[in-house]
Amino acid sequence: MLTAADVAALRAHSARLATQPLTAVIANDPARAQAFALRVGPLYASFARQRYDRIAVDALFALAERADLPAAIRALFDGTPVNITEGRAALHTALRSNLSTTPPARDAHTAARTTRIRMAQVVATLHASRVTDIVSVGIGGSDLGPRLVVDALRAPDHGRMRVHFLSNVDGAAAQRVLAGLDPARTAAVLISKSFGTQETLLNGAIVRDWLDDNDRLYAVSANVERAEAFGIDPERILPMWDWVGGRYSLWSAVGLPVALALGMDRFEALLAGAAEMDAHVVATLPRRNLAVWHALTAVWNRNALEASTQAVLAYDERLKLLPAYLQQLVMESLGKSVRDDGTPVVVQTVPVWWGGAGTDAQHSYFQALHQGTQIVPADFIGVVHGDDPYRDNHHALLAHLLAQTEALANGKGSDDPHRAYPGNRPSTLLLLDALTPQALGTLIAFYEHSVYLQSVLWGINAFDQFGVELGKQVADRLLPAVRGEAVDIDDPVTSALLDEIHSRLL
Ligand code: F6P
């Protein structure tokens, strides 16, 4: 776990490099472009434009060695209760890989395979039926992963099934999703590990009543009893387990909307891509390990360069939901200020992750990335082979991707300070050969592993999320007051706000 002294040592390296811009560091190390790049299956990553040199990288790998990252990776795969605050394993790897012989990992892998057989039956049944539309009801980890993958990989005309995602408790979301759908040709899947999430229960009830036929109502949950009580036939409930965190659950039956939209074969291919990354991460020494490089780079940017935000910029329209997905994965996992043993952290943990899709983002906030006062490290993601028929557009897209990373790093001088580009702005470039299910699985699993390794380096638990509970409890307490019931409100500001709302209600 990183200590204050470790951070001071990393800062000494960044101070040493302060007078050497990236252009100089790169020019002084002719083999850097190759030495700072790695490939795993369809994913190529270049760290050559990060603001460290080989000496600083050696210091980072020394930290990795002290943290014994290989042992931490083994513990994850073996089903050790790495989620120590809740006493649970985090066996998402067992959903797609069979890389551990421990009983918990083997049992998890068997349960996952058995569940996929049931998923395949559901897909076959619905594909053979009159159903043309699926409404997927869930939120957070029960929504963002399937939503990303369906949006990224669906056919331009949607193919056999259109999948619609309903997450927000705002009734306008339900109204918009259901408008234009025919209940007789629609099935719904309620996805909730707990089956106790307010948003999903409220939206689920709207959809259940609108459907008016529970034969087309499915659920994915670790709480079968609650799903049954909601009116879902146990035959149509697929399991989830305590040993999978919501934001790591795409690979389980939570991926049912993916399988319905793309077919079971492509869902299996997504898992195979993730398994390829698992095999790499578990078997590769830190120096050649892609997830370790990414995690150490995150630590460098946060703790040595003190960057408070991190951008993720997808140069592929189909990956435009990736930033939203990663926000939950990274910030719900690493947004912690207490270490595993309950003591406060002494170093900064997760920065704010944000981003969007290129080239749209270039015409929005890139001004600040190039000339703003804050340094924003960025992950740029590109896809080499485009699948659309518009080659000129694809070439332009790739040119912009390369241009932005080069311009941010190299900058450009000018006598006019308004027209000068300081450069020295760090980025990682991730290139997928093509946007196949395998490649997307590899990319997502890569981020999962990097997040876990960052948590190990910072000494925090990546698998709990107590921070989201308080707001839910307060909302439950305030709900009767919003409805207009007589309730004592202690907080004077909330009380005044409630008065304002009630005075305006028509
Ligand atoms: O509020 C956060 C959270 O607990 C996430 O971690 C989770 O993915 C989401 O809510 C949905 O939870 P559930 O699947 O139990 O409905």
pLDDT tens track for 115-139: 999 999 999 999 999 999 999 999 9
> At 245, is the pLDDT very low, low, confident or very high (cuts 50, 70, 90)?
very high
Q: How high is the pLDDT of residue 37?
A: 98
**How do residues 468-482 score in pLDDT, each as one tens digit?**
999 999 999 999 999
- What is the whole-number distance in angstroms between the Cα of residue 464 and the centre of ligand 1? 11
Q: In one letter, which amino acid is 202? A: L
Q: Compute CA distances 52 → 10, 67, 275, 402, whole Å.
A: 10, 20, 30, 20
Q: Which 3 state secondary structure label does DSSP give 433?
A: strand
Count the alpha carbons within 13 Å of 241 in the hemisphere toward its beta carbon: 21
Whole-prediction pTM: 0.98
Q: In one letter, which amino acid is 285? A: L
CA–CA distance, 453 with 61 (Å, rounded to integer): 13
Q: Compute CA distances 384 → 85, 390, 434, whole Å.
A: 42, 14, 6
What is the rounded average pLDDT of the residues 395-424? 98
Please state whether the peptide bond connecting residue 125 to the residue before it is cis, i.e. omega within 30 degrees of 0.
no
- In this predicted structure, the answer to whether residue 243 has a pLDDT above a threshold of 90 is yes
Nearest atom in ligand 1 to 221's CA: 14
- What is the whole-number distance in angstroms between the Cα of residue 462 and the centre of ligand 1? 14
Q: What angle do CA 314, 287, 310 make, to 5 degrees?
A: 30
CA–CA distance, 460 with 343 (Å, rounded to integer): 10
CA–CA distance, 333 with 326 (Å, rounded to integer): 10
Q: How high is the pLDDT of residue 421?
A: 97
Would you call 104 exposed, middle or buried from its count of C-beta atoms within 10 A (0-12, 13-18, 19+)? middle
Instruction: Write out the DSSP string of 346-389.
Output: SS----EEEEEETTGGGGTTHHHHHHSSS---EEEEEEEE--SS
Residues 258, 142 contacting (CB under 8 angstroms): no
CA–CA distance, 255 with 142 (Å, rounded to integer): 9
> At 505, is the pLDDT very low, low, confident or very high (cuts 50, 70, 90)?
confident
| Structure tokens belonging to residue 104 | 């918990």
- What is the whole-number distance in angstroms between the Cα of residue 251 and the centre of ligand 1? 16
> At 158, is the pLDDT very low, low, confident or very high (cuts 50, 70, 90)?
confident
- What is the whole-number distance in angstroms between the Cα of residue 194 and the centre of ligand 1? 8
Nearest atom in ligand 1 to 194's CA: 15
- What is the whole-number distance in angstroms between the Cα of residue 142 and the centre of ligand 1? 7
Nearest atom in ligand 1 to 469's CA: 1
Residue whose Cα lies nearest atom 13 of ligand 1: it is 192
Residue whose Cα lies nearest atom 6 of ligand 1: it is 246
CA–CA distance, 429 with 47 (Å, rounded to integer): 7
Instruction: Write out the DSSP string of 455-492.
Output: HHHHT--TT--GGGHHHHHHHHHHHHHHHT-------H
Q: Which run of H or E residues covers position 40? A: strand 37-40
| Nearest alpha carbon to residue 321 among 151, 155, 438, 136 | 151
| Structure tokens belonging to residue 85 | 């605050």
Q: Which 3 state secondary structure label does DSSP give 38?
A: strand
- List 382's β-bridge partners, or say none: 315, 431
Q: Which run of H or E residues covers position 45? A: strand 43-46
Q: How high is the pLDDT of residue 120?
A: 98
| Nearest alpha carbon to residue 451 among 221, 220, 277 | 277
Residues 309, 375 contacting (CB under 8 angstroms): no
CA–CA distance, 459 with 336 (Å, rounded to integer): 10
CA–CA distance, 132 with 44 (Å, rounded to integer): 37
Verify whether ligand 1 is closer than 6 Å to residue 201 (CB atom). Answer: no
Instruction: Point out the residues that are catalytic.
Output: 332, 363, 472
Residue whose Cα lies nearest atom 3 of ligand 1: it is 140
What is the rounded average pLDDT of the residues 58-66? 98
Residues 244, 90 contacting (CB under 8 angstroms): yes
End-to-end CA distance of the chain: give it in Å, rounded.
56
Verify whether ligand 1 is closer than 6 Å to residue 465 (CB atom). Answer: yes
Verify whether ligand 1 is closer than 6 Å to residue 468 (CB atom). Answer: yes
Which DSSP category does 286 fall into? Answer: G
| Long-range contacts at 262-265 (CB < 8 A, ≥ 24 apart) | 262/149, 262/150, 262/153, 262/154, 262/159, 262/437, 263/123, 263/160, 264/116, 264/119, 264/120, 264/123
**How do residues 183-212 score in pLDDT, each as one tens digit?**
999 999 999 999 999 999 999 999 999 999
Q: Which 3 state secondary structure label does DSSP give 310?
A: strand
Residues 491, 107 contacting (CB under 8 angstroms): no
